[in-house]
Amino acid sequence: MGRRELICAFSYSAKRLGAAIYDGEEKEVKMIGDLAEDADFIILARILREFKPTHVLANKSQDEAFQMQLRAECNYYSMCSFSPALSIGGTQKGFSDSVVDDSMELGTYANEQTTTAPTNDGRGTMSSVGVEDEEGGVEGIFHHLICSHKTTILCTFGFGLARKRIEQIFGSTDHEKRAIAFRFDFSSSNMIRSLGALFRFLEQQKGVSSSSADSAAVVTSDLRSLIATIDTYILEDCVEVDSVTLRALEIFYSDYNPKSIRQKFVWGNHRREGMSIFKLCNLCRSVPGKQMLRMWFERPSKDRPMLMVRHEAISYLYQDCNLEVTAHLRTLLKDGILKRMRRGNVPISDWKSFFTTLCTLVKIGTYFDEREINMAIVKEKLHFLRDPLKQLTAILIGVIDFTESISENRLVICRGVDPELDKKKQLYEKLPEDLTSVALLEAEDISIESCSVAYVPIIGYLLMVAESTQIPADTKALVEIIFSSEGMSYYKTNRMRLLDENIGDIKMQIVDAETNIVLNLQKRILDSKEAVLSAVELAATLDCLISLSVVARKYNWTRPQFVDESIVAIEQARHPIAEHICKDGKYVPNPVHSSTEVGKVKVLSGPNASGKSIYLKMVGSIVYLACCGSFVPAQRATIGPISRILSRLYTIDSVLDGMSSFANDLKQVL
């Protein structure tokens, strides 16, 4: 029995990942809206793990790290050179198909065998498909990693073409055209790109060209027959929050301004951002910490064990007896940041920052050991702060002379690393004295009053004499004029030739030797990249937890309790931003009670400006903060299972989408 056909298309840009999955057996398309993705591509791994697709479509021109991770997740084991037979600057309209022999990229999941995919003629080949954008150039070229015996193709992920293809397939009537806005979220550009690539792949599988109107109609009809349902898929551990709700709850943007809500300044079409919940909670000292905290806020989770681990760590740092630990770790985290090891020559500033970061991470590990700090959230990676980083730090201290490096604006190697290099440096340090002695001997032999020795690249060592100096006739045979410049004459003598042979360009010899050592050092560091990045991730996690604990203590937030019952019970609840900007201390907390016993539907009534909207936002923001792993602004909070957070407090209407405000309300329900 053959394996169930599952085709998965990915599009990744702006650190957001969108996907579309086709189930050939159920004739079902699942869409995954754009999700914030981190450097470890956790969302990508989760999607592949949940669906285990037989085909994976990916953008060939996308981020290299994304492609490498995708290959690793698919157990990519064979990489061949790829040269598609497609002209980037071509003028042919529509799609062009061609075959390129011996260009196969293979990928498979564990315990499955993969071989070269046969085409219709039985040979191991790769077909390429290109498409031109509106400006006449090829919009994008992509590749497809295979996980079974299927034809490998190239397909396009252009947003405009993807939208056009969706409208062609599902908008044959006026009613269907209006329904498209309900079915597809076109603000999730990566998801739409993935859908377009998926539909193009299905067209290619049918073997029908869409270059003419008639054949396009046939392709559309065939695709409609292949697709029975289209659904939005929410990852198991994620809480669904749409962009309108994020704006309404002021998670990343707020109309509030903490300075007496002063007038906004306008740059282009955007107003100056006021206080937001993320800005309120972001007290991180390091760039990786800020990036990780934003990732936590962009991906609220219903993974209760993970949230409880975060809450436990914040509780530890929140306690009075551990304030010294929190303050000391926060001081360490502000010291240095990790910069990428770039190819080629790394600036000394990057080396200095890298060294400072390693020292900081080692200090954090030492502090954890001395205080016997036990946090479950960092326990698994705590060993990276010990031997691996200590060894790297010791190597950097023993190899690089940072004081000399800063003064010379290049990486200088310490004494004792290479005996031959030390000899050359010693010779270079004595060189001025030796050249002075040689100049005195030359002046005596040539019978002139004064001269000096200079080194000219390529030409070598030369005797430098003023043009006004007359060389006696009986010693002219000892010198050979090379050139004259700026009132000085340069000569070659036997001693100069000996200097060329015995010493040469000693400075460049030193630089070359140090460069070789630096390259070996870079290789050693890159070999330990996993340990360094894991340690930095641990430090970033600590930075996030400390930031949230400082905020919780500063604003008197409390730890929420998660239960299995369908309930939201909050005592003395406060809106985090409204309380923050209420300087006169007159903010009045409110209770929240929602359960099966007391009812889940609430009707709020009151005069204008009485706080109805703030109350609703308060409930949503408290639940959102709890799902991010943060403490919440309340005296006590009990929260049941949460799968979606929706609101209709903020309206984003546009005449371009063809939807009324009521239609936008209905879209959230569907």
* 421 is a domain residue: no
Task: Match 């050939």 to its residue by tokens.
Answer: 24
d(CA 23, CA 26): 6
Flag whether pLDDT at 94 surpasses 60. no
Q: How many domains does the chain contain in total?
A: 1
Top-confidence range, 159-168, 255-264, 638-647 = 638-647
Q: For residue 253, with 0-12 CB atoms within 10 Å meaning exposed, 13-18 middle and 19 or more buried, which class applies?
A: buried
Structure tokens at 31: 């869409």
Residue 216 has what pLDDT?
53
Partnered with residue 280 across adjacent β-strands are: none
Q: Order the strands of the 460-466 sheet from edge to edge.
A: 452-456, 460-466, 488-492, 480-485
Share of the chain above pLDDT 90, in %: 21
Flag whether pLDDT at 106 surpasses 60. no
Collapse the DSSP code of 124 into the 3-class scheme (helix H, G, I; strand E, B; otherwise coil) and give the result.
Answer: strand
Q: Which long-range contacts (CB under 8 A, 24 or more apart) does 663-669 make?
A: 663/181, 663/182, 664/244, 666/182, 667/181, 667/182, 668/242, 668/244
- Higher model confidence: residue 623 or residue 524? 623
Residue 266 has what pLDDT?
41
Task: Match 């705590």 to its residue by tokens.
Answer: 382
3-state helix, strand, coil in the chain (%, to 5): 45, 15, 40
DSSP secondary structure string for all residues of 4-35: PPEEEEEEEETTEEEEEEEETTTTEEEEEEEE
* 666 is a domain residue: no
* 440 is a domain residue: no
* 141 is a domain residue: yes
Please check whether residue 198 is in contact with residue 57, taking contact to mean a CB–CB distance below 8 angstroms: yes
Please check whether residue 499 is in contact with residue 460, taking contact to mean a CB–CB distance below 8 angstroms: yes
State pLDDT tens for residues 251-310. Answer: 987 654 444 444 444 444 444 456 899 999 999 988 889 989 999 999 999 999 999 999
Characterise 351 by phi-psi region: left (phi > 0), alpha (psi -120 to 50), beta (else).
alpha
Residue 277 has what pLDDT?
94
Residue 334 has what pLDDT?
63
d(CA 129, CA 122): 19
CA 617 to chain centre: 31
Residue 616 has what pLDDT?
93
Task: Match 């293979």 to its residue by tokens.
Answer: 106
Under the banding of pLDDT at 50, 70 and 90, the label for residue 101 is: very low
State pLDDT tens for residues 408-450. Answer: 888 889 988 999 999 988 888 888 888 888 889 888 888 888 8
Alpha-helix residue ranges (DSSP H) falling in 299-418:
304-318, 323-333, 348-371, 376-379, 387-399, 402-408
Helices and strands in the chain, H and E counts: 22, 20
* 477 is a domain residue: no
Q: For residue 426, with 0-12 CB atoms within 10 Å meaning exposed, 13-18 middle and 19 or more buried, which class applies?
A: exposed
* 163 is a domain residue: yes
Residue 625 has what pLDDT?
97
The pTM (predicted TM-score) of the whole model is 0.73
Task: Match 């993935």 to its residue by tokens.
Answer: 194
Q: How far apart are the first and last CA of the chain?
A: 37
CA distances from 399 to 231, 281, 359, 416 (A): 58, 41, 15, 9
Flag whether pLDDT at 172 surpasses 70. no
> Among candidates 634, 542, 17, 550, which has minimal Cα distance to 298?
17
Flag whether pLDDT at 140 surpasses 50. no
Domain region containing 89: 6-232
Please check whether residue 632 is in contact with residue 230, taking contact to mean a CB–CB distance below 8 angstroms: no
Mean pLDDT, the chain, whole residue set: 77
Residue 650 has what pLDDT?
64
Q: Please tell me the total number of residues recorded for the chain in this structure.
A: 670
Residue 120 has what pLDDT?
38
Structure tokens at 620: 């949503």
Flag whether pLDDT at 122 surpasses 80. no
d(CA 273, CA 522): 42
Task: Match 């004459």 to its residue by tokens.
Answer: 489
Please check whether residue 197 is in contact with residue 8, taking contact to mean a CB–CB distance below 8 angstroms: no
Q: What is the pairing mode between strands 125-130 and 143-146?
A: unpaired
Structure tokens at 88: 């980037």
* 168 is a domain residue: yes
- Higher model confidence: residue 98 or residue 386? 386
d(CA 188, CA 35): 9
Q: Looking at residue 105, which CATH number applies to its domain? A: 3.30.420.110
Partnered with residue 271 across adjacent β-strands are: 266
Under the banding of pLDDT at 50, 70 and 90, the label for residue 668 is: low
Share of the chain above pLDDT 70, in %: 76
> Among candidates 582, 577, 561, which has minimal Cα distance to 621?
577
* 165 is a domain residue: yes
Sign of CA pseudo-dihedral 388, 389, 393, 396: positive
